[in-house]
Amino acid sequence: MTKTIPTLKMSMMALSAGVLTLAATQGQAAVPESCQNVRFAEVGWTDITATTALTTEVLEALGYDTRIDTVSVPIAYSGMKNGDFDVFLGNWMPSMASISDPYVEQGTVDRLAANLEGAKYTLAVPQYVYDAGITSVADLVEHAEKFDSEIYGIEAGNDGNMLIQDMIDDEAFGLGEWELIDSSEAGMLAELRSRSSRDEWMVFLGWEPHPMNTNFDIAYLEGADDYFGPNLGGATVYTNTRADFAQECANVGTLLNNLTFTLEMENQLMSTIMDDGERPSDAARAYLQANPEVLEGWLEGVTTVEGEPGITAVKHELEI
């Protein structure tokens, strides 16, 4: 008996130490398992492809698993509402207000920080058309034959297409008999390339950032403020998430609120993807390796899934 009691005490002490060690180890795991897989909605626009690639490269270097699904804008929002997607980096405002605002107002989607300032989004023409006197949307109708009474948009359901269709339905600027051509970003640009090579006229949905601004000589049309907003559809792009995601998964939430991109950054990445044929993930990794200073702001207050300093881990994983 005199030997059993000390042995029991030692066993209890060892068990207690083990529990404390386990608790300490679990305390270091700053990210719950439910938050370690981050699902992105991506809508097939090269700018959002680029920013999503940048973000997923950083998250994977922090130890997260990521998934990217390419869907239409309406599906992106219904997916966030239903919990199928966690993050969407392409909330262009104000043009996307009619699609995104109802979800935000209902509390099923959260609008986080702006990730890009100074964008633009409105109708555009080749420069030779602009030089011929087509400087405003109001100038289009007088030259309907040269445009085949057609306005080229991108994918069906896109907010820009909806705004163009609103103009047609409202018979604004005399465009009531015109037709919206639903296409895709790639299809629209292929048409622009074909027509530009022959100096044929075309009016299309244009935006910046995008390599179209350097690959083609184009000009933006005045006068569509009531539809696309002032300053040639001057836009701010916001990060959106499913409701409460940034609170539930606070480490990712900190990264998402820290994310800011620039027109120069996106134009460069988009050109690498579109013109050079690089995979988005490869283009993003190469950009981060060449511009590691962007990581300092993005990773402020961000850890790995194990709770280690994020900046150190990301630079190590990206071989910076």
Q: Is the pLDDT of residue 230 over 90?
A: yes
pLDDT tens readout for residues 260-312: 999 999 999 999 999 899 999 999 999 999 999 999 999 999 999 999 999 99
Residue 192 φ then ψ, to 5°? -65, -40
**C-alpha span between 141 and 292 (Å, rounded):** 49
What confidence score (pLDDT) does residue 136 get?
98
What confidence score (pLDDT) does residue 27 get?
39
CA of 208: how far to CAs of 83, 151, 225, 239, 317, in Å? 30, 18, 17, 17, 32
**C-alpha span between 35 and 289 (Å, rounded):** 26
How does residue 133 score in pLDDT terms, banded at 50, 70 and 90?
very high
On the question of a common fold for 33-117+235-317 and 120-233, the answer reads yes
Quote the mean pLDDT of the chain.
91
Q: What percent of the chain has pLDDT over 90?
A: 86
pLDDT tens readout for residues 21-79: 443 333 345 789 999 999 999 998 999 999 999 999 999 999 999 999 999 999 999 99
The residues, any chain, with a CB within 8 Å of residue 277's CB and separated by 6 or more, are none
Q: What residues pair up with 240 in beta bridges, in sequence order? A: 88, 111
Q: Is the pLDDT of residue 20 over 80?
A: no
Domain boundary assignment for the chain: 33-117+235-317, 120-233
What confidence score (pLDDT) does residue 310 get?
97
CATH class of this structure's domain 120-233: alpha beta
pTM, entire model: 0.80
CATH architecture of the region 33-117+235-317 = 3-Layer(aba) Sandwich (3.40)
